[in-house]
């Protein structure tokens, strides 16, 4: 038995035992004589070839195709917003022209990489720019955050999902947490343009991790910042600030939109429910294709299965089964940690080597 | 009459066996299972053909491959001749020879099948295509017509799209293929595993197309990145071959538990993303030790057989009808059994159960019995009350089938779709309700076969050519 099947697949050529008897009988069968001269027995060669084919080219990048339109998507700007949080301006003209607030892209950094979804933070169609904000959480985001201006992201596809439904409803509260604030930025732009009064509540664990405060503040009519540890803004959770806004006598909140950690969105939904304020949450389940083809992104909304990539990513927060979403998000945690660790160790090893050389 | 060479016949009643990797070896690798005929095997198999005047085998072939001629050329040792004979009507013989359900097509009609086994037509088609692959004949496509100055867009790079692309580029049009995923090939890349269809073969066909000038645009979701309406402004004619990519689920409790996969997700993770090679490849997959696959089509067989290669304790295939109704290719069913996959026939899952972490721990099955034939002519499976029991497992792969993905069609009100979300076309010309826009493959038929998708791509290419050259829709008799 092979201990670890993965090793067997990745390292050496597996041995193929042919049914010798069968081959022998087949080879002795009478054939039309002149053929023997024209076509040599090529049996072994054929078998060997099959093996070699399989080994070399299963996942060779097809970007080698001469007809491929582009090799990748260029990073025009990279800006570190907070420790482990990076903003990228990516050159993607078609997506920039099409994307609306709330939609996302799927990217892949390298040819053995994973496809991950990231919500679009901003677009500047005139400059062909799609802005994404990435928090380093695992292997793919680790690789991504190590790309620099001028380098390319291998695959970048979108805009996917339904845009946020934006109309003039009156007063809108946008509640964001952590890297979700990048999407709040996209949403406030949309809601403002539609003529709404905007109250933004953005939170972070600590001051250092707070992103895009100025950008969001500049567009919002009112900005409330919270940090868990009180190192900046109000101490406490976004839900506490939200509740106060909902309790205001002189303010009628028509809609709440929220994006951030699942647990935060769950409690935002719990907070607004008693007030009967329509609440949209932008969900971030695991995805593969992002076009409705696989169902990896299944979420339960109002007791029904929905595909977040095509039916969402925004859903009625009062109907979303957040606990299920949380459980689905951690399913691969151990494997994700393993590949993240590997990537970091590899990086360390390379840096050490570089130092030794110096 | 031209002088005819005397033919040698082989009176053997059974097909010449094809050497294969032994089951115990192949479940530990991802290499192709059947290894192909040697020259000698191929010739002696081709010599079994009687060269029937009525050509029954051809009537069974959706693209009318000139089978008796091909077989005669192989028997005579004219391999280049045989290869071009197949290529006349079949654009992807190396693929069809491997994945076509020949037992329902050409081989079903073969005269020899009445008193023994039919000629191994599929195996010989594969042989002749592999011969060409190995001979690496640099076939310079000098046959392509002078440029017409017309531009066509092909949406989807599955067998339907690739065939249409190939024909249209030969006719002298400028061809652009738009594909949503990052690799071309459709189901041939993300669905059918390496051990059944080596990627090398597919990549070669696609590279061949790129060499003759077809432009491939990956990561391009028509309907999202650009709409069909916008494409129509840029192109003279459009072919839609986006396949049937929306997976069906069972609609039973517990289907959102961790470890429940659609076969599309499961196979995509493994084939397209290389999850079997984790952590060399970043995408994970977690089938666990005991895997249950629901369904009995090719997709189910592929899911079960790929599972068996992940070193599990047990792979069980659950199907609500009996063996006779299994829709997969006979060869795959046979291979699956040889590889140690347990078949639980006449059983249907009614619930998936899990633990407090939300992970699958088992599936509740109910026994079925066959009743009266239903509309499809197959005996309807009926549940046996009180026969429920739980089969413990770590994952459930649902391989029931797919319907068309409405992602693109729903933003095109002018494009007529059926209640089943398939695109409605004129069945002879493959033109949709929008003039100049054609469609074919699974998007029109619902989940079908590679060869039917190819046939549709070819038919549509003819119609598109007519449309672009004359400016009017092709008549039904094109
Ligand atoms: C696992 C599995 C095994 C099978 N085994 C067999 C077999 O053994 N024999 C057989 O004959 N048939 C088999 N089939 C069926 C066969 O593969 C299909 O009938 C055939 O591939 C259909 O071809 P197509 O070109 O219509 O679509 P597909 O092959 O599905 O290709 C469609 C392509 O279009 C792309 N696309 C979709 N939407 C968009 C969009 N909006 N914009 C751009 N691109 C888009 C998709 O990503 C995909 O690449 C199998 C199917 C599966 C899933
Ligand atoms: S039916 Fe069989 S024997 Fe007759 S021509 Fe076709 S392959 Fe040959
Ligand atoms: S990510 Fe595959 S269907 Fe949504």
The predicted model gives A33-37 an average pLDDT of 32
Q: Is the pLDDT of residue A211 over 60?
A: yes
Residue B256 banded pLDDT, cuts 50, 70, 90: very high
Give distance in angstroms: CA of B299 to centre of ligand 1: 11
A145 and A209 together in one domain: no
B284 touches A336 (CB < 8 A):
yes
A32 touches B74 (CB < 8 A):
no
A298/B256 Cβ within 8 A: yes
Ligand 3: which of A119, A284, A294, A299 to mutate, judged by most atoms within 8 Å of the beta carbon?
A: A294
A212 and A287 together in one domain: yes
Q: Domain of A135?
A: 73-160
A45/B269 Cβ within 8 A: no
Percentage of chain A beyond pLDDT 90 is 37
* Contacts across the A-B interface (CB distance below 8 Å): 260
Q: How many CB atoms lie within 10 A of CB B304?
A: 28
**Per-residue pLDDT tens for B114-130?**
888 999 999 999 999 98
Domain count, chain A: 3
Report the CATH architecture of B249-400. Answer: 3-Layer(bba) Sandwich (3.50)
**Per-residue pLDDT tens for A232-245?**
888 889 988 898 88
At A114, which CATH number? 2.40.30.10
Is A311 domain-assigned? Answer: yes
**Per-residue pLDDT tens for B307-359?**
999 889 899 999 999 888 899 988 889 999 999 999 999 999 999 999 999 99
Is A257 domain-assigned? Answer: yes
The residues facing A153 across adjacent strands are A73
The CATH H-level superfamily of B151-245+403-470 is: FAD/NAD(P)-binding domain (3.50.50.60)
Percentage of chain B beyond pLDDT 70 is 96
A195 and A226 together in one domain: yes
Mutation to test the B interface, candidates A293, A301, A338, A341, most B Cβ within 10 Å? A293
A156 and A226 together in one domain: no
The predicted model gives B277-283 an average pLDDT of 86
Radius of gyration of chain B (CA): 23
Is A252 domain-assigned? Answer: yes
Residues of B in contact with A16 (CB under 8 A): 21, 25, 31, 35
Ligand 2 pocket, CB under 6 A: B 49-52, 55-57, 67-68, 71, 110-112, 118-119, 121
Residue B409 dihedral angles phi and psi, to the nearest 5°: -65, -30
Contacts for A170 with CB less than 8 Å, ≥ 6 apart: A196, A197, A252, A254, A255
Question: Which residue in B458, B451, B335 sits closest to B95, CA to CA?
Answer: B451
Searching chain A, which residue's CA lies closest to the CA of residue B195? A54
What CATH fold (topology level) applies to the domain B23-135? Fumarate Reductase Iron-sulfur Protein; Chain B, domain 2 (1.10.1060)
At A192, which CATH number? 3.40.50.80
Question: Which residue in A234, A141, A223 sits closest to A188, CA to CA?
Answer: A223
The residues facing B260 across adjacent strands are B396
A339/B279 Cβ within 8 A: yes
A182 and A312 together in one domain: yes
Ligand 1: which of B187, B199, B202 to mutate, judged by most atoms within 8 Å of the beta carbon?
A: B187
If residue B352 lies in a helix (H) or strand (E), which one and from where to where? Answer: strand B347-354
Residue A323 banded pLDDT, cuts 50, 70, 90: very high
A245 touches A220 (CB < 8 A):
no
Please tell me the distance from the alpha carbon of residue B478 to that of residue B472, in angstroms, as a whole number. 12
Q: pLDDT at position B143, please? A: 59
Please report the residues numbered 101 through 120 in chain A whose beta carbons come closer than 8 angstroms to any beta carbon of chain B.
108, 112-115
* Alpha-carbon distance B93 to nearest alpha carbon in chain A (angstroms): 17
Q: Is the pLDDT of residue B78 over 70?
A: yes
DSSP string, B80-106: HHHHHHHHHH-S-HHHHHHHS-GGGTH
A217 touches A192 (CB < 8 A):
no
Question: Which residue in B160, B185, B181 sits closest to B239, CA to CA?
Answer: B160
Pick the ligand that lies closest to the CA of residue B181: 1
Is A63 domain-assigned? Answer: no
Question: Which residue in B398, B203, B187, B441 sits closest to B291, CA to CA?
Answer: B398
Domain chopping of chain B, boundaries: 23-135, 151-245+403-470, 249-400
Evaluate whether B23-135 and B151-245+403-470 have a shared fold. Answer: no
Contacts for A224 with CB less than 8 Å, ≥ 6 apart: A199, A200, A201, A202, A233, A234, A241, A245
A177 and A318 together in one domain: yes
**Per-residue pLDDT tens for A213-226?**
889 988 999 999 99
Question: Which residue in A119, A125, A242 sits closest to A182, CA to CA?
Answer: A119
Cα angle value B293/B298/B302 (rounded, 5°): 55
Using CB atoms, pick whichever of B216, B226, B405 lies closest to residue A293: B405
A92 and A150 together in one domain: yes
Q: Is residue B377 left, alpha or beta, with left meaning phi > 0 and alpha meaning psi from -120 to 50?
A: left
Tell whether A302 is within 8 A of chain B (Cβ). Answer: no
Is A315 domain-assigned? Answer: yes
* Alpha-carbon distance A143 to nearest alpha carbon in chain B (angstroms): 11
How many C-alpha atoms does B121 have within 13 Å on its Cβ side? 33
Mutation to test the B interface, candidates A53, A128, A298, A299, most B Cβ within 10 Å? A53
Searching chain A, which residue's CA lies closest to the CA of residue B406? A292
């Amino acid at each position: 038995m092979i201990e670890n099947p993965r090793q067997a697949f990745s390292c050496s050529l597996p041995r193929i035992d042919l049914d010798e008897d069968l081959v022998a009988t087949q080879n002795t069968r009478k054939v039309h004589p002149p053929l023997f001269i024209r076509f040599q027995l090529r049996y072994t060669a054929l078998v060997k070839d099959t093996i070699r084919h399989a080994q070399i080219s299963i996942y060779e990048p097809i970007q080698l195709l001469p007809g491929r339109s582009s090799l990748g998507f260029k990073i025009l700007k990279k800006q570190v917003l907070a420790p482990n949080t990076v903003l990228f301006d990516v050159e993607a003209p078609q997506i920039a022209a099409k994307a609306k607030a709330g939609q996302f892209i799927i990217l892949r950094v390298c040819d053995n990489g994973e496809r991950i979804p990231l919500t679009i933070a901003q677009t500047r169609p005139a400059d062909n720019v799609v802005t994404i904000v990435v928090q380093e959480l695992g292997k793919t985001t680790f690789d991504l955050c190590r790309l620099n201006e001028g380098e390319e992201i291998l695959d970048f596809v979108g805009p996917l999902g339904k845009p946020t439904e934006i109309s003039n409803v009156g007063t809108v509260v946008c509640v964001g947490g952590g890297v979700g604030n990048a999407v709040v930025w996209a949403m406030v732009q949309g809601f403002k343009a539609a003529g709404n009064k905007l109250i933004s509540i953005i939170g972070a664990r600590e001051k250092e991790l707070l992103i895009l405060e100025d950008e969001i503040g500049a567009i919002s009519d009112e900005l409330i910042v919270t940090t868990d540890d009180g190192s900046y803004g109000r101490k406490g959770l976004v839900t506490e600030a939200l509740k106060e806004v909902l309790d205001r006598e002189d303010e009628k909140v028509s809609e709440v939109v929220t994006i951030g950690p699942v647990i935060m969105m769950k409690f935002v939904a719990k907070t607004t429910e008693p007030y009967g304020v329509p609440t949209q949450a932008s969900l971030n389940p695991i995805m593969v294709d992002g076009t409705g083809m696989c169902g990896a992104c299944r979420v339960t909304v109002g007791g029904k299965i929905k595909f977040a990539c095509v039916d969402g990513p925004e859903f009625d927060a009062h109907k979303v089964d957040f606990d299920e979403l949380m459980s689905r998000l951690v399913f691969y945690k151990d494997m994700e940690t393993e590949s993240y660790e590997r990537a970091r160790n590899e990086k360390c090893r390379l840096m050490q080597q570089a130092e030794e050389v110096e | 009459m031209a002088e005819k060479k005397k033919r040698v016949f082989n009176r053997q009643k059974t097909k010449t066996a094809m050497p294969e990797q032994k089951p115990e070896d192949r479940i530990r690798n991802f290499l192709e299972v059947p290894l192909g005929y040697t020259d000698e095997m191929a010739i002696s198999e081709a010599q079994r053909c009687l060269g029937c005047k009525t050509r029954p085998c051809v009537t069974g072939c959706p693209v009318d491959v000139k089978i008796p001629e091909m077989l005669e050329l192989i028997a005579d040792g004219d391999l280049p001749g045989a290869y071009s004979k197949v290529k006349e009507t079949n654009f992807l013989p190396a693929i069809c020879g491997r994945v076509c359900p020949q037992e329902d097509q050409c081989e079903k009609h073969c005269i020899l099948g009445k008193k023994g086994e039919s000629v191994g037509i599929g195996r010989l088609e594969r042989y002749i295509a592999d011969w060409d692959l190995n001979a690496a004949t640099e076939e310079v496509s000098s046959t392509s017509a002078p440029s017409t100055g017309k531009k066509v867009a092909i949406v989807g790079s599955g067998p339907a799209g690739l065939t249409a692309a190939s024909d249209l580029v030969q006719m002298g049009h400028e061809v652009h293929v738009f594909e949503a995923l990052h690799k071309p090939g459709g189901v041939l890349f993300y669905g059918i595993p390496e051990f059944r269809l080596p990627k090398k073969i597919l990549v070669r066909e696609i590279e061949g197309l790129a060499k003759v000038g077809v432009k491939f645009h990956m990561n391009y979701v028509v309907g999202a990145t650009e709409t069909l309406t916008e494409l129509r402004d840029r192109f003279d004619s459009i072919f839609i071959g986006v396949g049937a990519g929306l997976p069906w689920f069972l609609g039973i409790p517990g289907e959102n538990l961790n470890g429940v996969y659609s076969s599309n997700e499961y196979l995509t993770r493994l084939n397209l993303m290389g999850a079997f090679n984790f952590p060399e490849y970043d995408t994970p997959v977690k089938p666990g030790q005991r895997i249950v696959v629901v369904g009995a089509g090719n997709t189910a067989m592929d899911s079960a057989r790929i599972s068996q290669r992940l070193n599990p304790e047990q792979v069980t295939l659950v199907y609500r009808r009996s063996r006779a109704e299994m829709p997969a290719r006979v060869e795959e069913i046979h291979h699956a059994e040889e590889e140690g996959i347990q078949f639980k026939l006449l059983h249907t899952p009614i619930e998936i159960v899990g633990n407090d972490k939300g992970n699958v721990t088992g599936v509740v099955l109910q026994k079925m019995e066959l009743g009266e034939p239903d509309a499809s002519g197959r005996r309807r499976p009926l549940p046996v009350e009180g026969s429920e029991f739980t089969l413990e497992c770590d994952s459930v792969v649902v391989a029931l089938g797919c319907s068309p993905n409405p992602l693109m069609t729903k933003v095109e009100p002018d494009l007529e779709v059926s209640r089943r979300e398939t695109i409605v076309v004129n069945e002879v010309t493959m033109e949709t309700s929008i003039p100049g826009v054609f469609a074919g493959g699974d998007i029109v038929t619902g989940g079908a076969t590679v060869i039917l998708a190819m046939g549709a791509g070819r038919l549509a290419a003819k119609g598109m050519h007519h449309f672009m050259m004359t400016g009017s829709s092709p008549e039904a008799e094109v």
